Chains A and B, each alone.
Chain A
Amino acid sequence: MSKLYLARDARSAVRVLDGEAMVMSGRDSTLFSLNKTATLIWQAADGQTSLDEIVERRVCQEFEVEFGSALQDAENMARELAGHGILQISEEPISQTNPLTGESQ
Protein backbone atom coordinates (compact mmCIF):
# COMPACT_ATOMS: atom_id res chain seq x y z
CA MET A 1 0.00 0.00 0.00
CA SER A 2 1.39 3.42 -0.91
CA LYS A 3 1.97 5.99 1.76
CA LEU A 4 -0.68 8.59 2.46
CA TYR A 5 -0.02 12.12 3.62
CA LEU A 6 -2.57 14.31 5.38
CA ALA A 7 -2.75 18.08 5.85
CA ARG A 8 -5.31 20.06 7.80
CA ASP A 9 -7.34 22.54 5.75
CA ALA A 10 -6.20 26.01 6.79
CA ARG A 11 -9.68 27.50 6.44
CA SER A 12 -11.18 25.15 9.01
CA ALA A 13 -11.90 26.32 12.52
CA VAL A 14 -10.80 23.96 15.25
CA ARG A 15 -10.56 23.72 19.00
CA VAL A 16 -9.48 20.73 21.04
CA LEU A 17 -11.25 20.26 24.36
CA ASP A 18 -10.64 17.41 26.72
CA GLY A 19 -8.71 15.63 23.97
CA GLU A 20 -11.52 15.84 21.44
CA ALA A 21 -11.59 18.29 18.52
CA MET A 22 -14.44 20.38 17.21
CA VAL A 23 -13.78 21.17 13.57
CA MET A 24 -15.85 23.46 11.40
CA SER A 25 -15.43 23.21 7.66
CA GLY A 26 -14.34 26.45 6.04
CA ARG A 27 -16.12 25.32 2.90
CA ASP A 28 -19.69 24.89 4.13
CA SER A 29 -19.66 25.45 7.93
CA THR A 30 -20.38 21.79 8.63
CA LEU A 31 -19.38 20.98 12.18
CA PHE A 32 -17.58 17.78 13.13
CA SER A 33 -16.77 16.31 16.49
CA LEU A 34 -13.69 14.07 16.44
CA ASN A 35 -13.03 11.40 19.04
CA LYS A 36 -9.66 11.20 20.78
CA THR A 37 -8.05 8.96 18.13
CA ALA A 38 -9.28 11.05 15.23
CA THR A 39 -8.13 14.17 17.07
CA LEU A 40 -4.64 12.76 17.48
CA ILE A 41 -4.44 12.05 13.75
CA TRP A 42 -5.87 15.48 12.93
CA GLN A 43 -3.26 17.21 15.09
CA ALA A 44 -0.44 15.22 13.50
CA ALA A 45 -1.64 15.95 9.94
CA ASP A 46 1.17 18.30 8.97
CA GLY A 47 1.40 17.26 5.32
CA GLN A 48 4.90 15.86 5.85
CA THR A 49 4.38 12.90 8.17
CA SER A 50 2.84 9.86 6.52
CA LEU A 51 -0.30 8.29 7.92
CA ASP A 52 1.41 5.01 8.75
CA GLU A 53 4.03 6.92 10.77
CA ILE A 54 1.29 8.82 12.58
CA VAL A 55 -0.55 5.61 13.38
CA GLU A 56 2.59 3.74 14.45
CA ARG A 57 4.19 6.51 16.52
CA ARG A 58 1.15 8.26 17.93
CA VAL A 59 -2.01 6.17 17.76
CA CYS A 60 -0.61 2.73 18.58
CA GLN A 61 1.50 4.07 21.45
CA GLU A 62 -1.28 6.17 22.88
CA PHE A 63 -4.15 3.71 22.58
CA GLU A 64 -2.50 0.24 22.47
CA VAL A 65 -4.26 -0.87 19.29
CA GLU A 66 -3.07 -3.22 16.58
CA PHE A 67 -1.27 -1.39 13.75
CA GLY A 68 -3.02 -2.94 10.73
CA SER A 69 -6.59 -2.32 11.82
CA ALA A 70 -5.72 1.10 13.25
CA LEU A 71 -4.19 2.13 9.93
CA GLN A 72 -7.26 0.95 8.04
CA ASP A 73 -9.57 2.89 10.38
CA ALA A 74 -7.35 5.96 10.13
CA GLU A 75 -7.36 5.85 6.35
CA ASN A 76 -11.14 5.54 6.25
CA MET A 77 -11.46 8.49 8.59
CA ALA A 78 -8.99 10.56 6.56
CA ARG A 79 -10.86 9.93 3.32
CA GLU A 80 -14.17 10.85 4.96
CA LEU A 81 -12.79 14.11 6.36
CA ALA A 82 -11.16 14.86 3.00
CA GLY A 83 -14.58 14.42 1.41
CA HIS A 84 -15.86 17.16 3.69
CA GLY A 85 -12.97 19.45 2.76
CA ILE A 86 -11.37 19.72 6.20
CA LEU A 87 -8.37 17.53 5.39
CA GLN A 88 -6.24 17.14 2.29
CA ILE A 89 -4.87 13.73 1.41
CA SER A 90 -2.16 12.86 -1.08
CA GLU A 91 0.26 10.07 -1.91
CA GLU A 92 3.03 12.71 -1.87
CA PRO A 93 4.04 15.02 0.99
CA ILE A 94 1.87 18.15 0.95
CA SER A 95 3.47 21.60 0.97
CA GLN A 96 0.88 24.24 1.63
CA THR A 97 0.87 27.98 1.46
CA ASN A 98 -1.51 29.15 4.15
CA PRO A 99 -4.14 31.20 2.31
CA LEU A 100 -4.82 33.05 5.54
CA THR A 101 -1.34 34.33 6.03
CA GLY A 102 0.60 33.66 2.85
CA GLU A 103 3.07 31.66 4.97
CA SER A 104 4.40 28.27 3.91
CA GLN A 105 3.33 25.43 6.15
Chain B
Amino acid sequence: MSSLIEEMGAKATALGFPLCVQIDLTYRCNERCVHCYLDHEDHGEMTTAEIKDLLDQMAEAGVFVLTLSGGEILMRKDFFEILEHARRLTFCIKLKTNAVMIREREAARIRELGVESIQVSIYSHRAEVHDAITLVPGSLKRSVDAIRFLKAQGLKVTIANVLMLPTVRDYPGVQALARDLGVEVTIDPTITPRMDGDRSVLRLGIGQSELRQAFADESLVGNVDEFCAISAPPGESELESVPCSAGHSTCYVSPYGDVYPCVQFPLPTGNVRQQRFIDIWRHSDQMNEVRSIRLKDLSSCSQCVHGASCTRCPGLAYMEGNMRGPSSQDCEKSFARTGVPSANLLSKKPSMAGLVQIRSIPVMAGVSA
Protein backbone atom coordinates (compact mmCIF):
# COMPACT_ATOMS: atom_id res chain seq x y z
CA MET B 1 0.00 0.00 0.00
CA SER B 2 2.79 2.44 0.81
CA SER B 3 4.08 2.27 -2.77
CA LEU B 4 0.58 2.97 -4.07
CA ILE B 5 0.31 5.95 -1.72
CA GLU B 6 3.67 7.17 -3.01
CA GLU B 7 2.39 6.72 -6.55
CA MET B 8 -0.71 8.73 -5.64
CA GLY B 9 1.49 11.42 -4.09
CA ALA B 10 3.54 11.64 -7.27
CA LYS B 11 0.36 11.80 -9.35
CA ALA B 12 -1.07 14.49 -7.09
CA THR B 13 2.11 16.53 -7.42
CA ALA B 14 2.15 16.11 -11.19
CA LEU B 15 -1.52 17.07 -11.56
CA GLY B 16 -1.26 19.80 -8.92
CA PHE B 17 -3.96 18.74 -6.50
CA PRO B 18 -3.83 18.51 -2.71
CA LEU B 19 -3.90 14.81 -1.85
CA CYS B 20 -3.65 15.20 1.94
CA VAL B 21 -4.86 18.07 4.09
CA GLN B 22 -4.82 18.56 7.84
CA ILE B 23 -7.43 20.83 9.40
CA ASP B 24 -7.03 21.85 13.01
CA LEU B 25 -10.64 22.26 14.10
CA THR B 26 -9.66 24.17 17.22
CA TYR B 27 -6.61 25.19 19.20
CA ARG B 28 -8.58 24.83 22.44
CA CYS B 29 -7.47 21.86 24.48
CA ASN B 30 -8.29 20.11 27.72
CA GLU B 31 -4.60 19.41 28.33
CA ARG B 32 -1.74 21.87 28.75
CA CYS B 33 1.22 19.91 27.45
CA VAL B 34 4.46 21.58 28.43
CA HIS B 35 5.98 21.24 24.94
CA CYS B 36 2.92 22.34 22.96
CA TYR B 37 3.42 24.96 20.24
CA LEU B 38 -0.14 26.29 20.28
CA ASP B 39 -1.97 29.20 21.88
CA HIS B 40 -5.09 27.58 23.32
CA GLU B 41 -7.32 30.65 23.26
CA ASP B 42 -10.14 30.83 20.71
CA HIS B 43 -9.42 33.80 18.43
CA GLY B 44 -12.43 33.23 16.20
CA GLU B 45 -12.65 29.64 15.00
CA MET B 46 -14.46 28.78 11.80
CA THR B 47 -18.13 28.06 12.38
CA THR B 48 -19.72 24.70 11.62
CA ALA B 49 -21.09 26.09 8.35
CA GLU B 50 -17.70 27.49 7.36
CA ILE B 51 -15.98 24.16 8.00
CA LYS B 52 -18.64 22.24 6.07
CA ASP B 53 -18.26 24.61 3.16
CA LEU B 54 -14.48 24.20 3.30
CA LEU B 55 -14.88 20.41 3.26
CA ASP B 56 -17.13 20.68 0.19
CA GLN B 57 -14.45 22.77 -1.51
CA MET B 58 -11.73 20.33 -0.55
CA ALA B 59 -13.62 17.31 -1.89
CA GLU B 60 -14.11 19.19 -5.14
CA ALA B 61 -10.40 20.06 -5.20
CA GLY B 62 -9.50 16.36 -4.98
CA VAL B 63 -8.41 16.03 -1.34
CA PHE B 64 -8.45 12.36 -0.42
CA VAL B 65 -6.81 12.02 3.01
CA LEU B 66 -8.23 14.42 5.59
CA THR B 67 -6.60 14.64 9.01
CA LEU B 68 -8.68 16.31 11.72
CA SER B 69 -6.57 17.58 14.58
CA GLY B 70 -6.22 20.39 17.10
CA GLY B 71 -6.01 21.41 19.92
CA GLU B 72 -8.34 18.70 21.04
CA ILE B 73 -10.89 17.91 18.34
CA LEU B 74 -13.56 16.83 20.80
CA MET B 75 -13.53 20.26 22.44
CA ARG B 76 -15.75 21.25 19.50
CA LYS B 77 -19.36 20.44 20.32
CA ASP B 78 -20.03 20.05 16.60
CA PHE B 79 -17.20 17.55 16.13
CA PHE B 80 -19.43 14.63 15.13
CA GLU B 81 -21.51 16.84 12.84
CA ILE B 82 -18.31 17.85 11.05
CA LEU B 83 -17.12 14.24 10.93
CA GLU B 84 -20.44 13.05 9.47
CA HIS B 85 -20.27 15.72 6.80
CA ALA B 86 -16.69 14.78 5.96
CA ARG B 87 -17.57 11.11 5.58
CA ARG B 88 -20.52 11.92 3.34
CA LEU B 89 -17.90 13.50 1.11
CA THR B 90 -16.00 10.15 1.19
CA PHE B 91 -12.71 11.45 2.58
CA CYS B 92 -10.28 8.98 4.09
CA ILE B 93 -10.27 10.39 7.63
CA LYS B 94 -7.55 10.26 10.23
CA LEU B 95 -8.00 11.75 13.71
CA LYS B 96 -5.38 13.12 16.08
CA THR B 97 -6.58 13.40 19.66
CA ASN B 98 -5.56 13.00 23.28
CA ALA B 99 -8.68 10.79 23.52
CA VAL B 100 -9.49 11.99 27.03
CA MET B 101 -13.11 12.66 26.00
CA ILE B 102 -13.58 9.38 24.12
CA ARG B 103 -15.70 6.85 25.99
CA GLU B 104 -17.59 3.78 24.65
CA ARG B 105 -20.28 5.87 22.95
CA GLU B 106 -17.84 8.15 21.12
CA ALA B 107 -15.71 5.17 20.07
CA ALA B 108 -18.77 3.44 18.63
CA ARG B 109 -19.76 6.56 16.68
CA ILE B 110 -16.22 6.94 15.31
CA ARG B 111 -16.43 3.36 14.11
CA GLU B 112 -19.86 3.88 12.53
CA LEU B 113 -18.55 6.89 10.67
CA GLY B 114 -15.78 4.87 9.04
CA VAL B 115 -12.74 6.73 10.38
CA GLU B 116 -9.57 5.20 8.97
CA SER B 117 -7.31 5.62 12.01
CA ILE B 118 -6.87 7.49 15.27
CA GLN B 119 -3.58 8.79 16.64
CA VAL B 120 -3.47 9.24 20.41
CA SER B 121 -0.74 11.15 22.23
CA ILE B 122 0.90 9.20 25.06
CA TYR B 123 4.06 10.65 26.60
CA SER B 124 4.91 7.89 29.08
CA HIS B 125 3.55 4.61 30.38
CA ARG B 126 3.89 6.07 33.88
CA ALA B 127 1.03 8.27 35.05
CA GLU B 128 3.29 10.53 37.09
CA VAL B 129 5.37 11.35 33.98
CA HIS B 130 2.56 11.55 31.38
CA ASP B 131 0.33 13.63 33.64
CA ALA B 132 3.24 15.97 34.43
CA ILE B 133 3.53 16.65 30.69
CA THR B 134 -0.20 17.20 30.11
CA LEU B 135 -0.61 18.98 33.47
CA VAL B 136 -3.89 17.04 33.87
CA PRO B 137 -4.00 14.50 36.71
CA GLY B 138 -5.56 11.23 35.58
CA SER B 139 -5.04 11.97 31.88
CA LEU B 140 -2.95 8.85 31.15
CA LYS B 141 -5.67 6.58 32.53
CA ARG B 142 -8.36 8.39 30.53
CA SER B 143 -6.33 8.18 27.31
CA VAL B 144 -5.43 4.52 27.76
CA ASP B 145 -9.05 3.64 28.59
CA ALA B 146 -10.07 5.42 25.38
CA ILE B 147 -7.58 3.41 23.35
CA ARG B 148 -9.19 0.26 24.72
CA PHE B 149 -12.66 1.53 23.74
CA LEU B 150 -11.44 2.33 20.23
CA LYS B 151 -9.70 -1.03 19.88
CA ALA B 152 -12.84 -2.80 21.09
CA GLN B 153 -14.58 -1.25 18.06
CA GLY B 154 -11.94 -2.73 15.78
CA LEU B 155 -10.43 0.66 14.96
CA LYS B 156 -6.82 1.25 13.98
CA VAL B 157 -5.06 3.22 16.72
CA THR B 158 -1.52 4.56 16.81
CA ILE B 159 0.16 5.95 19.91
CA ALA B 160 2.21 9.07 19.20
CA ASN B 161 5.10 9.56 21.56
CA VAL B 162 7.51 12.49 21.65
CA LEU B 163 11.09 11.91 22.72
CA MET B 164 11.90 14.86 25.01
CA LEU B 165 14.08 15.28 28.05
CA PRO B 166 11.42 14.53 30.70
CA THR B 167 10.23 11.38 28.89
CA VAL B 168 13.16 10.02 26.90
CA ARG B 169 13.81 7.08 29.20
CA ASP B 170 10.21 5.94 29.06
CA TYR B 171 9.80 5.10 25.39
CA PRO B 172 10.49 1.37 25.93
CA GLY B 173 7.63 1.41 28.44
CA VAL B 174 5.40 3.15 25.88
CA GLN B 175 6.35 0.53 23.30
CA ALA B 176 5.42 -2.21 25.80
CA LEU B 177 2.13 -0.45 26.55
CA ALA B 178 1.38 -0.30 22.82
CA ARG B 179 2.07 -4.01 22.49
CA ASP B 180 -0.26 -4.74 25.42
CA LEU B 181 -2.97 -2.62 23.82
CA GLY B 182 -2.41 -4.14 20.38
CA VAL B 183 -1.72 -0.77 18.72
CA GLU B 184 1.08 0.77 16.70
CA VAL B 185 3.43 3.36 18.14
CA THR B 186 5.26 6.22 16.45
CA ILE B 187 8.10 7.94 18.26
CA ASP B 188 9.48 11.30 17.17
CA PRO B 189 12.19 13.52 18.71
CA THR B 190 10.95 16.71 17.01
CA ILE B 191 9.91 19.64 19.19
CA THR B 192 8.23 22.46 17.30
CA PRO B 193 8.73 26.11 18.26
CA ARG B 194 5.58 27.92 19.35
CA MET B 195 3.55 29.45 16.54
CA ASP B 196 4.19 32.93 17.96
CA GLY B 197 7.92 32.39 17.36
CA ASP B 198 8.82 31.60 20.98
CA ARG B 199 11.56 28.97 20.81
CA SER B 200 11.82 28.34 24.55
CA VAL B 201 10.05 24.96 24.28
CA LEU B 202 13.06 23.70 22.33
CA ARG B 203 14.89 23.42 25.67
CA LEU B 204 12.83 20.25 26.19
CA GLY B 205 14.37 18.60 23.14
CA ILE B 206 16.81 15.78 23.62
CA GLY B 207 20.51 16.31 22.92
CA GLN B 208 23.12 14.51 20.87
CA SER B 209 23.81 11.72 23.36
CA GLU B 210 20.12 10.80 23.70
CA LEU B 211 19.62 11.02 19.93
CA ARG B 212 22.60 8.74 19.36
CA GLN B 213 21.18 6.21 21.81
CA ALA B 214 17.78 6.36 20.14
CA PHE B 215 19.29 5.93 16.67
CA ALA B 216 21.21 2.88 17.87
CA ASP B 217 18.00 1.21 19.02
CA GLU B 218 16.75 -1.34 16.51
CA SER B 219 13.23 -1.12 17.92
CA LEU B 220 13.09 2.50 16.78
CA VAL B 221 15.03 2.58 13.54
CA GLY B 222 15.05 -0.98 12.21
CA ASN B 223 18.40 -1.97 10.76
CA VAL B 224 20.81 0.30 12.63
CA ASP B 225 23.66 -0.09 10.13
CA GLU B 226 21.44 0.87 7.23
CA PHE B 227 19.82 3.71 9.18
CA CYS B 228 23.15 5.17 10.26
CA ALA B 229 24.95 4.71 6.96
CA ILE B 230 26.35 7.81 5.32
CA SER B 231 24.69 8.22 1.97
CA ALA B 232 26.33 9.54 -1.17
CA PRO B 233 26.11 13.31 -1.65
CA PRO B 234 23.11 14.40 -3.70
CA GLY B 235 23.41 13.64 -7.39
CA GLU B 236 21.88 15.57 -10.26
CA SER B 237 18.44 13.98 -10.01
CA GLU B 238 18.32 14.55 -6.25
CA LEU B 239 19.35 18.17 -6.69
CA GLU B 240 16.36 18.64 -9.01
CA SER B 241 13.95 16.95 -6.57
CA VAL B 242 11.46 18.70 -4.29
CA PRO B 243 12.60 18.72 -0.67
CA CYS B 244 9.21 17.89 0.89
CA SER B 245 5.56 17.28 -0.03
CA ALA B 246 4.45 20.46 1.80
CA GLY B 247 2.64 22.65 -0.70
CA HIS B 248 3.03 20.05 -3.46
CA SER B 249 0.48 17.43 -2.43
CA THR B 250 -0.28 18.46 1.15
CA CYS B 251 -1.30 21.52 3.11
CA TYR B 252 -2.77 22.62 6.42
CA VAL B 253 -5.70 24.81 7.48
CA SER B 254 -5.86 26.46 10.90
CA PRO B 255 -9.08 26.84 12.96
CA TYR B 256 -9.21 30.43 11.70
CA GLY B 257 -9.13 29.46 8.04
CA ASP B 258 -5.47 30.29 7.41
CA VAL B 259 -3.87 27.99 4.85
CA TYR B 260 -0.24 26.97 5.28
CA PRO B 261 1.92 24.52 3.31
CA CYS B 262 2.03 22.24 6.38
CA VAL B 263 1.11 22.24 10.06
CA GLN B 264 4.81 22.68 10.78
CA PHE B 265 5.32 25.39 8.15
CA PRO B 266 3.53 28.56 9.32
CA LEU B 267 3.97 30.54 6.10
CA PRO B 268 0.61 32.28 5.52
CA THR B 269 -0.62 31.63 1.98
CA GLY B 270 -4.24 32.80 2.23
CA ASN B 271 -7.44 32.49 4.22
CA VAL B 272 -10.50 30.50 3.20
CA ARG B 273 -12.74 33.17 4.69
CA GLN B 274 -11.53 35.52 1.96
CA GLN B 275 -10.71 33.22 -0.95
CA ARG B 276 -11.74 29.82 -2.20
CA PHE B 277 -9.51 26.99 -1.04
CA ILE B 278 -8.61 25.96 -4.60
CA ASP B 279 -7.60 29.51 -5.51
CA ILE B 280 -5.22 29.67 -2.57
CA TRP B 281 -3.87 26.23 -3.43
CA ARG B 282 -3.31 27.05 -7.08
CA HIS B 283 -2.52 30.73 -7.15
CA SER B 284 -1.05 31.87 -3.84
CA ASP B 285 2.35 33.47 -4.48
CA GLN B 286 3.66 31.99 -1.25
CA MET B 287 2.46 28.47 -2.09
CA ASN B 288 4.01 28.77 -5.53
CA GLU B 289 7.25 30.01 -4.03
CA VAL B 290 7.42 26.94 -1.78
CA ARG B 291 6.69 24.77 -4.84
CA SER B 292 9.48 26.34 -6.83
CA ILE B 293 12.18 25.24 -4.39
CA ARG B 294 14.41 22.34 -5.38
CA LEU B 295 17.19 20.77 -3.35
CA LYS B 296 19.74 22.57 -5.53
CA ASP B 297 18.26 25.90 -4.31
CA LEU B 298 19.06 25.18 -0.65
CA SER B 299 22.23 27.10 -0.06
CA SER B 300 23.72 24.94 2.65
CA CYS B 301 21.90 21.62 2.22
CA SER B 302 22.66 21.21 -1.48
CA GLN B 303 26.37 21.18 -0.59
CA CYS B 304 25.93 18.93 2.44
CA VAL B 305 26.97 15.29 2.55
CA HIS B 306 23.53 14.51 4.06
CA GLY B 307 21.65 16.39 1.34
CA ALA B 308 20.12 13.28 -0.21
CA SER B 309 19.17 11.49 3.00
CA CYS B 310 18.41 14.26 5.52
CA THR B 311 14.94 14.59 7.06
CA ARG B 312 15.21 18.38 6.67
CA CYS B 313 11.90 20.05 7.45
CA PRO B 314 11.37 23.23 5.38
CA GLY B 315 8.90 24.46 8.00
CA LEU B 316 11.45 24.23 10.79
CA ALA B 317 13.95 25.93 8.47
CA TYR B 318 11.39 28.69 7.85
CA MET B 319 10.91 29.09 11.60
CA GLU B 320 14.68 29.42 11.92
CA GLY B 321 14.49 32.32 9.49
CA ASN B 322 14.94 30.95 5.97
CA MET B 323 12.80 28.42 4.15
CA ARG B 324 15.78 27.75 1.85
CA GLY B 325 18.12 27.33 4.78
CA PRO B 326 18.90 24.34 6.97
CA SER B 327 16.76 23.04 9.81
CA SER B 328 19.18 22.73 12.70
CA GLN B 329 17.09 20.07 14.47
CA ASP B 330 17.45 17.89 11.40
CA CYS B 331 21.17 18.68 11.11
CA GLU B 332 21.50 17.43 14.70
CA LYS B 333 19.63 14.26 13.77
CA SER B 334 21.85 13.61 10.73
CA PHE B 335 24.91 14.18 12.92
CA ALA B 336 23.65 11.84 15.63
CA ARG B 337 22.74 9.23 13.02
CA THR B 338 26.07 9.20 11.17
CA GLY B 339 28.63 10.93 13.35
CA VAL B 340 29.34 13.31 10.45
CA PRO B 341 28.43 16.95 11.03
CA SER B 342 26.27 18.64 8.41
CA ALA B 343 27.50 21.59 6.35
CA ASN B 344 25.36 23.83 8.54
CA LEU B 345 26.84 22.51 11.79
CA LEU B 346 30.35 22.86 10.40
CA SER B 347 29.69 26.46 9.44
CA LYS B 348 28.55 27.21 12.99
CA LYS B 349 31.60 25.63 14.59
CA PRO B 350 33.84 28.30 16.11
CA SER B 351 37.06 28.59 14.20
CA MET B 352 40.02 26.78 15.66
CA ALA B 353 42.01 30.00 15.61
CA GLY B 354 39.59 31.50 18.06
CA LEU B 355 39.77 28.62 20.46
CA VAL B 356 43.47 27.73 20.53
CA GLN B 357 45.84 30.51 21.27
CA ILE B 358 49.58 30.01 21.60
CA ARG B 359 51.66 32.76 22.99
CA SER B 360 54.89 32.97 24.78
CA ILE B 361 54.80 33.17 28.54
CA PRO B 362 57.55 35.16 30.20
CA VAL B 363 59.71 33.02 32.47
CA MET B 364 59.33 34.16 36.03
CA ALA B 365 62.39 35.23 37.86
CA GLY B 366 63.79 32.51 40.05
CA VAL B 367 62.08 29.66 38.16
CA SER B 368 64.21 27.64 35.86
CA ALA B 369 63.43 24.86 33.49
Contacts and interface: CB of A to CB of B under 8 A. Distances in A.
Interface of A: 10-15, 17-18, 22, 24, 26, 29-33, 99-101
B84 A22 contact: no
Nearest to A26: B114
Contact of A29 (B17, B87, B117): B117
A32 B63 CA distance: 16
B209 to A, nearest CB: 38
Nearest to B3: A31
B92 to A, nearest CB: 3
Given A11-B114, A33-B8, A17 B62 contact: yes
A32 B64 CA distance: 13
Interface in B1-41: 1, 4-5, 7-8, 11-12, 15, 17
Contact of B90 (A14, A18, A31): A14
Given A15-B63, A17-B15, A22-B64, A33 B7 contact: yes
B1 A29 contact: yes
A100 B156 contact: no
A97 B175 CA distance: 40
Contacts of A24: 92, 116
B331 interface: no
Given A17-B11, A100-B112, A12 B17 contact: no
Interface of B: 1, 4-5, 7-8, 11-12, 15, 17, 59, 62-64, 84, 87-88, 90-93, 112-114, 116-117, 156
A29 B116 contact: yes
Contact of A101 (B88, B90, B93, B116): B88
Nearest to B63: A15
A15 B59 contact: yes
Given A11-B114, A13-B92, A22-B64, 19 more contacts: A13-B90, A13-B91, A14-B90, A15-B62, A15-B63, A15-B64, A15-B91, A17-B12, A17-B62, A18-B15, A24-B92, A26-B114, A29-B116, A31-B5, A33-B7, A33-B8, A99-B112, A100-B87, A100-B113
B4 A31 contact: yes
A46 B1 CA distance: 27
Given A10-B114, A100-B114, A15 B90 contact: yes
A18 B19 CA distance: 13
Given A12-B90, A24-B92, A101 B84 contact: yes
Contacts of B5: 31
A31 B8 CA distance: 10
A49 to B, nearest CB: 19
A13 B64 CA distance: 8
Contacts of B112: 99-100
Nearest to A100: B87
B335 to A, nearest CB: 36
A30 B8 CA distance: 14
A30 to B, nearest CB: 6
Contacts of A14: 90
B59 A13 contact: no
Contacts of A22: 8, 64
Contacts of A15: 59, 62-64, 90-91
A40 to B, nearest CB: 17
A32 to B, nearest CB: 8
Nearest to B156: A29
